[in-house]
């Protein structure tokens, strides 16, 4: 290190020391205040009822009591909010104390006398007098300079307009436990020493924040404000998920007065992924957004009556059942049901149903049909047909509820009720007695009182029995959705408008499955969509921004459905068509490949640089896919992918040996990726006594560092230090190319392929210089 560099380092360390002292001072002050608020909260909770005037004598007193409780509750929740806020600030200060900032820029604004020294960290921090920023939040407008420019002329946008100037210095720091561990000045080309440092590390069981090294093109995604729909096509490892999470943090900061974490929703590919990304936002001082898999949403909407196939089981079918004679029909069905053309068919179906064809279920009470499906249908079609179906359904519901109430009154005097009254519990009698007393229904005549009591008890018995019917009607479950969806295919089988090979077969297959209360994954979205058209659905207004990760796995139909659910939300879609493993298996359309950008507020950003894997691994993986030459690796080196040919069945000893080799090289997260769940189970069973293994299944919700055995399609979105592909010879069909590419791109530092037969034909275009064959 030169003298100058030494002096710089000393200067910066002194500044770090100073800033940390300030942070500590502020933290102590805040802790003192928090203590006060915390004891306020405790005290308020303890004395809640003492400070409330409770008086229920007169109606006026009741109103006064309610007001007094409300006032006290508001005071308590205001104090609790303040406490939570202060606690959050303390946690941020603790993080800043550990690592106050990661970057510095000196910016000479046009027309100013001096350059501003801007230090960037995960949150803003001001000096003692609250006058100057000692740290700028990475999301502040001026901070974008750090991500968008190298030293030289630079501009940034503020609400007041564009600010021009010259960036004189751009410096990056790695500060840990208050000490500068590394410091890099970047020249005209944006330096990547820091990135080298970060990317060279081991994989984690949890995703990391990339705040210190966000790249310019990623910053365009993070700070995008213009588009209602932002579509990101990014190659494997280009930082799509990372950028999405940073974008959530950015939006929460930028709209902090109006947008809360519960207004943001992330659709993630599997339950495991939720835990994988769960620490990024807290690391940045923000709360996690809402997270769900699309399947969870569908299950919630379809209810428990049906057994709904999930995408993983569908994938297992596609990987295992090629010899099954229904396979090709099903594949065609999957492809068709993914399309907007099928959505149009359902839209047309709904239009037809407006004038005839809706199906209802009888309302049955004690084995007797009390309102027949025909009667419901007649009532429905007697209503003004200019009302939309859901509006008419509401009217039918009101009518049915009235009818049921009438029926309850009639039923009270029936003999079965009298019998049941005799079997009532003592508590029921007591409650009825109390009820009558409250209503002052007792007379002086004990005979009348007995009559009254019997009447009340009978009513009670009947109401309990009718309850399930009432709730069915309230939930509109008098509509026969199952047969209605099925009817589309029964009708469709004879439909000459659908010019699709095997259409009749597809229809038969679908009807057959539905009759067994089973819904295939490709039918789940169309089913819920039709249900929404018939029953009506209020859009979820609380969600203002939707993120869809692994968006290539969503069909155009599914995306149109999501858009309909959240018509007022902005959306960010992140995907990679080369990893469209589900649609790859069936050649179905996906939203990433087939979305027509018609509207002005739709923007598409393409990421071609990849950061996850070493250059050697990327050189190999990119030759697996068409157009792969456009994928740009980051200049980080490692060993070429290795392939080991084995004669017959792959021996457990060989896998064990390879895992040990990876461990010795210092890798901590190693995945043995198998093609299917069954294969994963076999490998796990064979090796679990030899090595500390974790088996990952579709229901696994969290995973730890270590050695994992995982089926191919569950490894999406995640990364490992080393990947061992169990048997690459099994990936033979073109339909598995994307799956093969996806699993190979999970490796950060080492990739090893076993091959029990020949080298996979999918590697036909991979030059032999790009891998090593191990003897």
Rounded to whole angstroms, the Cα distance separating 257 from 253 reads: 9
What is the DSSP secondary-structure string of 648-682? SSPPHHHHHHHHHHHHHTT---EEEEESSHHHHHH
Contact 13, 179 (CB under 8 A): yes
The answer to the question of residue 213 lying near ligand ATP (CB under 6 A) is yes
Number of residues that bind ligand ATP (CB under 6 A): 24
**Site mask, ligand ATP, residues 557-596, x = CB under 6 A?**
-------------------x--x-----------------
609-610 and 264-268 strand pairing: unpaired
What is the rounded CA–CA span in Å between residue 83 and residue 311? 43
Nearer to ligand ATP, 22 or 550 (CB): 550
Given 611, 662, 720, 726, the residue binding ligand ATP (CB under 6 A): 611
531 vs 745, beta carbon nearer ligand ATP: 745
Question: Which is nearest to 736 in space by CA: 579, 522, 556?
Answer: 579
Using CB under 6 A as the binding rule, whether residue 740 contacts ligand ATP is answered as: no
Q: If you write DSSP's letter for every residue of 581-603 in order, what string do you get? A: HHHHHHT---HHHH----STTEE
CA–CA distance, 219 with 67 (Å, rounded to integer)? 50
Show the tokens assigned to 285: 């001082």
The secondary structure element, H or E, covering residue 249 is helix 240-254
**Among positive and negative, which fits the CA dihedral 44, 46, 51, 56?**
positive
Nearest-approach distance from CB 208 to ligand ATP, in angstroms: 5
Judged by CB under 6 A, which of 186, 215, 509, 729 binds ligand ATP?
A: 215
Q: Could you say which of 96, 142, 154, 214 contacts ligand ATP (CB under 6 A)?
A: 214
Instruction: For the CB of residue 539, give the shortest distance to ligand ATP in the complex, in Å.
Output: 28
What's the CA gap between 571 and 16, in Å, rounded?
A: 39
Question: Beta strands 693-695 and 707-711: pairing type?
Answer: parallel
Name the closest residue to ligand ATP (Cβ): 239
Q: Is 223 exposed, middle or buried (0-12, 13-18, 19+ CB in 10 A)?
A: buried
Q: Is the Cβ of residue 238 or residue 268 nearer to ligand ATP in the bound state?
A: 238
Question: Which of residues 411 and 721 has its CB atom nearest to ligand ATP in the complex?
Answer: 721
Q: How many residues does the chain have?
A: 775
CB 331 within 8 A of CB 586: yes
Binding segment (CB under 6 A) for ligand ATP, from list 154-162, 237-245, 425-433, 645-653: 237-245
Q: Which is nearer to ligand ATP, 196 or 372 (CB)?
A: 196
If the CB atoms of residues 242 and 728 are measured against ligand ATP, the closer one turns out to be: 242
Report in angstroms how near the CB of residue 181 gets to ligand ATP at its nearest: 17
The answer to whether residue 636 forms part of the interface with ligand ATP (CB under 6 A) is no
The one among 34, 99, 172, 218 contacting ligand ATP by CB under 6 A: 218
Q: Which helix (H) or strand (E) holds 206?
A: none
Query: Could you say which residues in the range 146-205 bind ligand ATP, by CB under 6 A?
Result: 195, 198-199
Footprint on residues 346-375 left by ligand ATP (CB under 6 A): none
CB of 242 to ligand ATP, least distance (A): 3
Is 215 or 288 the residue whose CB approaches ligand ATP more closely? 215
Of 97, 240, 412, 570, the one binding ligand ATP (CB under 6 A) is 240
Name the residue nearer to ligand ATP (CB basis): 121 or 717.
717
Q: What is d(CA 594, CA 340) in angstroms, rounded to the nearest whole number?
A: 10
Kindly tell me which residue out of 612, 644, 658, 737 binds ligand ATP, with binding defined by CB under 6 A. 612
The window from 25-33, 208-216, 475-483, 693-701 that contacts ligand ATP (CB under 6 A) reads: 208-216
Give the Å distances, CA to CA, from 219 to 123, 266, 347, 631: 17, 19, 40, 19
Identify the H or E element spanning 470.
helix 446-474
Stretch that binds ligand ATP, among 239-247, 296-304, 485-493, 586-594 (CB under 6 A): 239-247
Q: How many beta carbons lie within 10 A of that of residue 463, not counting itself?
A: 14
Spatial neighbors of 320 by CB under 8 A, at least 6 apart, are 676, 678
Q: Does 472 bind ligand ATP (CB under 6 A)?
A: no
Contact residue for ligand ATP among 236, 520, 551, 673 (CB under 6 A): 236
Residue with tokens 């339909």: 735
Which residue in the set 151, 165, 239, 641 belongs to the binding site for ligand ATP (CB under 6 A)?
239
**Any contact of residue 234 with ligand ATP (CB under 6 A)?**
yes
Shortest CB 549 distance to ligand ATP, Å: 7
Name the residue nearer to ligand ATP (CB basis): 533 or 744.
Answer: 744
Judged by beta carbon, residue 469 or residue 715, the one nearer ligand ATP is 715
CB 240 to ligand ATP: min, Å:
3
Burial state string for 47-63 with b = 16 or more CB within 10 A and e = fewer than 16? eeeeebeeeeeeeeeee
x/- letters, 710..739, toward ligand ATP (CB under 6 A) = -------x-x--------------------
Query: 285 vs 717, which CB is nearer to ligand ATP?
Result: 717
- In terms of CB distance, is 478 or 634 closer to ligand ATP? 634
CA distance 394 to 418: 34
- Sort 426 into a burial class: Cβ within 10 Å, 0-12 / 13-18 / 19+: exposed
Whole-angstrom Cα distance, residue 106 to residue 101? Answer: 15
Distance of CA 220 to the CA centre of its chain: 22
The least CB distance from residue 35 to ligand ATP, in Å, is 38
Considering only 241, 263, 275, 569, the residue that binds ligand ATP (CB under 6 A) is 241
Binding region for ligand ATP (CB under 6 A) out of 18-26, 206-214, 429-437, 696-704: 206-214
Q: In whole angstroms, how far apart are CA 323 and each of 136, 326, 327, 531? A: 61, 9, 7, 34
Q: How far is the CB of 291 from ligand ATP (least distance, A)?
A: 15
In the complex, minimum distance from the CB of residue 271 to ligand ATP, in angstroms, rounded to a whole number: 16
Which is nearest to 407 in space by CA: 365, 439, 367?
A: 365
Which of 543, 631 has the CB closer to ligand ATP? 631
237 contributes a contact to ligand ATP by CB under 6 A = yes
Q: Which is nearer to ligand ATP, 236 or 755 (CB)?
A: 236
What's the order of all strands across the beta sheet hosting 545-548?
290-293, 264-268, 545-548, 570-575, 229-234, 602-607
Interaction mask 90-129, ligand ATP, x per CB under 6 A: ----------------------------------------
Q: What is the DSSP string of 87-139?
A: HHHHHHHHHHHH---SEEEEEEETT-SS-EEEEEESS-EE-TTS-SEEEEETT
Q: Two tokens at 713?
A: 């399609």
CB of 503 to ligand ATP, least distance (A): 35
CB of 207 to ligand ATP, least distance (A): 7
Q: What's the rounded Cα separation, in Å, for the pair 299 and 527?
A: 11
Q: Indicate whether 238 belongs to the interface with ligand ATP (CB under 6 A).
A: yes
CB of 121 to ligand ATP, least distance (A): 16
Using CA atoms, how far apart are residues 588 and 586, in angstroms rounded to an integer? Answer: 5
Q: State the minimum distance, in angstroms, from the CB of residue 643 to ligand ATP.
A: 22
Closest CA to 305 of 486, 477, 532, 468: 477
Stretch that binds ligand ATP, among 39-47, 76-84, 233-241, 581-589 (CB under 6 A): 233-241
Nearer to ligand ATP by Cβ, of 308 and 715: the residue is 715
> What residue ranges bind ligand ATP (CB under 6 A)?
195, 198-199, 208, 210, 213-215, 218, 234, 236-242, 576, 579, 611-612, 717, 719, 745
């Amino acid at each position: 290190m030169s003298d100058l560099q030494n002096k710089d380092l000393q200067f910066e360390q002194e500044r770090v020391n100073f800033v940390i002292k300030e942070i500590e001072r502020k933290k102590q002050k805040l802790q003192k205040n928090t203590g006060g608020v915390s004891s306020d909260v405790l005290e308020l909770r303890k004395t809640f009822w003492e400070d409330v005037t409770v008086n229920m004598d007169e109606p006026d007193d009741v109103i006064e009591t309610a007001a007094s409780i409300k006032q006290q509750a508001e005071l308590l929740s205001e104090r609790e909010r303040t406490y939570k806020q202060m606690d959050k600030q303390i946690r941020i200060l603790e993080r800043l104390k550990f690592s106050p900032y990661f970057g510095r820029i000196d910016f000479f604004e046009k027309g100013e006398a001096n350059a501003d020294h801007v230090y960037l960290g995960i949150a803003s921090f001001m000096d003692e007098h609250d006058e100057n920023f000692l740290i700028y939040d990475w999301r502040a407008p001026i901070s974008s300079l750090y991500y968008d420019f190298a030293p030289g002329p630079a501009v940034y946008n503020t609400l007041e307009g564009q600010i021009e100037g010259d960036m004189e210095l751009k410096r990056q720091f790695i500060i840990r436990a208050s000490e500068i561990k590394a410091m890099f000045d970047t020249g005209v080309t944006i330096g990547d020493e820091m990135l080298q440092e970060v990317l060279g590390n081991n994989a984690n069981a949890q995703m990391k924040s990339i705040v210190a090294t966000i790249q310019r093109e990623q910053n365009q995604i993070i700070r995008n404000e213009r588009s209602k729909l932002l579509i990101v096509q990014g190659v494997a490892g280009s930082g799509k998920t990372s950028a999405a999470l940073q974008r959530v943090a950015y939006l929460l900061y930028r709209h902090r007065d109006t947008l809360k974490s519960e207004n943001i929703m992330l659709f993630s590919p599997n339950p495991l992924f939720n835990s994988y990304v769960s620490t990024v936002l807290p690391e940045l001082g923000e709360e996690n957004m809402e997270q769900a898999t699309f399947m969870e949403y569908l299950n919630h909407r379809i209810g428990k009556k049906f057994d709904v196939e999930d995408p993983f089981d569908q994938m297992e079918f596609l990987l295992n059942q090629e010899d099954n004679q229904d396979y090709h029909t099903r594949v065609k069905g999957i492809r068709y049901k993914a399309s907007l053309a099928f959505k149009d068919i359902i839209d047309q179906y709904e239009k037809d149903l407006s004038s005839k064809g809706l199906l209802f279920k009888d309302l049955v009470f004690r084995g007797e049909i009390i309102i027949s499906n025909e009667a419901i249908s007649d009532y429905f079609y007697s209503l003004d047909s200019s009302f939309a179906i859901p509006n008419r359904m509401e009217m039918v519901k009101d009518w049915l509820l009235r009818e049921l109430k009438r029926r309850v009154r009639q039923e009270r005097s029936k003999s079965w009720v009298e019998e049941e009254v005799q079997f009532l519990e003592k508590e029921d009698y007591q409650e009825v007695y109390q009820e009558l007393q409250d209503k002052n229904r007792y007379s002086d005549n004990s005979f009348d009182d007995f009559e009254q009591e019997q009447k009340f008890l009978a009513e009670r018995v009947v109401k309990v029995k009718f309850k399930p019917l009432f709730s069915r009607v309230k939930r509109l479950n008098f509509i026969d959705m199952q047969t209605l969806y099925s009817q589309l295919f029964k009708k469709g089988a004879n439909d000459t408008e659908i010019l699709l090979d095997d259409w009749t077969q597809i229809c038969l297959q679908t009807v057959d499955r539905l009759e067994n209360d089973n819904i295939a994954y490709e039918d789940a979205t169309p089913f819920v969509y039709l249900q929404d058209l018939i029953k009506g659905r209020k859009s979820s207004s609380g969600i203002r921004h939707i993120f869809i990760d692994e968006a290539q796995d969503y069909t155009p139909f599914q995306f149109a459905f999501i858009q309909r659910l959240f018509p007022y939300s902005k959306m960010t879609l992140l995907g990679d068509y080369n990893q469209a493993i589900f649609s790859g298996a069936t050649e179905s359309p996906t939203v990433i490949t087939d979305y027509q950008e018609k509207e002005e507020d739709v923007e598409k950003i393409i990421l071609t640089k990849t950061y996850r894997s070493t250059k050697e691994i990327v050189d190999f993986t990119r030759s697996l896919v068409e157009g792969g030459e456009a994928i740009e690796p980051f200049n980080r080196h490692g060993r070429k992918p290795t392939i080991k040919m084995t004669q017959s069945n792959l021996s457990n000893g060989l896998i064990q040996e390879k895992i040990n080799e990876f461990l010795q090289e210092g890798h901590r997260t190693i995945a043995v990726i198998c093609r299917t769940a069954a294969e994963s189970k076999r490998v796990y069973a064979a090796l679990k006594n030899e090595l500390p293994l974790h088996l990952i299944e579709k229901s696994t919700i969290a995973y730890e560092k270590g050695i994992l055995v995982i089926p191919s399609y569950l490894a999406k979105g995640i990364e490992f230090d080393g990947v061992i592909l169990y048997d690459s010879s099994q990936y033979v069909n073109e339909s598995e190319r994307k799956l093969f590419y996806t699993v190979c791109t999970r490796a950060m530092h080492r990739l090893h392929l076993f091959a029990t037969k020949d080298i996979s034909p999918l590697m036909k275009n991979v030059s032999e210089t790009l891998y090593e064959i191990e003897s």
